Amino acid sequence: MSETKKETKEVVSIDEIMSKLSLEDQTSMKKLLYGSNYEPLELPETVMNFAKKMQFEIGSYRIISTPEQVRKARVVRMAALQTKLPLPTTAPVIEMRAAIWKRAEEAIELAAKAKVNIFCLQELWTMPYFFCTREKQPWCEFAEPAENGPTTKFLQVLARKNNMVIVSPILERDEVHSDVIWNTAVVIDNHGDVLGKHRKNHIPRNEDFNESTYYFEGNTGHEVFETEFGKIAINICYGRHHVLNWLMYGLNGAELVFNPSVEAGDFSEVIWPIEPRCAAAANSYFTCAINRVGTEVYPNEFTSGDGKPAHKDFGHCYGSTYLTAPDGTRTPALSRVNEGLLITEFDLNMCRQVKDFWCFQMDRRLEMYAERLTKATKVDYVPQIVRK
């Protein structure tokens, strides 16, 4: 694979560059870039040694919040996994899936040692991001039923064993309904039961993101899953760009919204640190943006609709997995190049604390916007333009 050569050119992370500054300058800069309400989360040496052995970069942080008088703190630990393909894309489907499962199992074991309660995998975590190729086979063979497919069964065992909620974004094949394919996140609770599934609400139609060739806009709404470790939701990948998508999860009571994604390219990276963070602040909940790393190289040439010659790789997936708190504070990201696990600890009570502080949920004039949006979607809507 040409991968190794490519990766060496990539910048590791903003934090790696910042580490060259004086401690004072680093502190000032981090405060401006990330906010003040986070601190390192110390993990036991055994955990760190295991991470090192398994070659997972660890980012571990605690979001700082205030105890309340009436409510008990609801502290949870969340982990988000950032990995690359373990095999070339030419590997047979079952071998690829098995190798990816193995890596996830290692990461879940690591998270369990770190006492993690909620674990989220990447978008379409069992497979290459083959949509760039626009080819149907063998790729569609990665699709599997959400409720009782092999990947769900595999994770149910790990969820039960580790008392861990696991969010598993896969390519779903709905065998009960005409073999329709969906981009779906399966939520498995800490007892190993499938709590439900959520289908991606917004499907991209640009560059290498040819997903609209494979599946349609989700029909499951904006479910919030009530787990023993808080109310979670999943805004899959491209739904990140749509503020109303984020808003509906908030209106349904989400406290933590995952954004499992596959992202490569400058045009995407420039807004990667912005959108999920803005959503956290706008809706007073936690968000976690998760991306894979590495360059996926495909057997056959494809074009990217950008006037450039045909090529075989999807570009560098830039990782940079990070979490944002409801007050807009964010953690540093995992690197742009390494496999890793982001582990964060926070008190879910912070959501309501921030709501009580800012009051966005009260001063946003939702009735007015419901009415105006309804008007604005009519074919004969006349925009409010002031002319001389």
What residues from 328 to 387 belong to the interface with a copy of itself (CB under 8 A)? 328-329, 357-360, 362-367, 369-374, 376-377, 381, 383-387
Q: How far is the CB of 252 from a copy of itself (least distance, A)?
A: 4
Binding positions for a copy of itself, 117-156, rule CB under 8 A: none
Q: How far is the CB of 68 from a copy of itself (least distance, A)?
A: 14
2 binds a copy of itself (CB under 8 A): no
User: For a copy of itself, which residue of 269, 311, 312, 352 counts as binding (CB under 8 A)?
Assistant: 269
| Cα–Cα dist 322/289, whole Å | 6
Q: How far is the CB of 102 from a copy of itself (least distance, A)?
A: 30
Residue 235: closest CA among 282, 285, 288: 288
Q: Tell me the catalytic residues.
A: 123, 200, 237
46 binds a copy of itself (CB under 8 A): no
DSSP-derived pairing of the beta strands 57-63 and 322-324: unpaired
8-state DSSP, 17: H
94 binds a copy of itself (CB under 8 A): no
Give the binding range for a copy of itself (CB under 8 A) out of 66-74, 82-90, 131-139, 199-207.
Answer: 199-207
Distance from CA of residue 104 to its chain's centroid? Answer: 15
44 binds a copy of itself (CB under 8 A): no
Give the binding range for a copy of itself (CB under 8 A) out of 46-54, 103-111, 204-212, 291-299.
Answer: 204-212
Q: How far is the CB of 300 from a copy of itself (least distance, A)?
A: 25
114 versus 188: smaller Cβ distance to a copy of itself: 188
User: For a copy of itself, which residue of 39, 68, 95, 217 counts as binding (CB under 8 A)?
Assistant: 217
The residue count for binding a copy of itself (CB under 8 A) is 85
47 versus 194: smaller Cβ distance to a copy of itself: 194
153 versus 242: smaller Cβ distance to a copy of itself: 242
Residue 288: closest CA among 246, 318, 253: 246
8-state DSSP, 144: B
- Retrieve residue 256's tokens: 């933590």
| Cα–Cα dist 318/337, whole Å | 6
327 binds a copy of itself (CB under 8 A): yes
128 versus 239: smaller Cβ distance to a copy of itself: 239
Give the binding range for a copy of itself (CB under 8 A) out of 77-85, 101-109, 178-186, 219-227.
Answer: 219-227
Long-range contacts of 298-301 (CB under 8 A, 24+ apart): 298/89, 298/128, 298/130, 298/132, 298/133, 299/89, 299/90, 300/133, 300/135
Q: How far is the CB of 292 from a copy of itself (least distance, A)?
A: 18
| Cα–Cα dist 163/178, whole Å | 35
| Cα–Cα dist 344/376, whole Å | 41
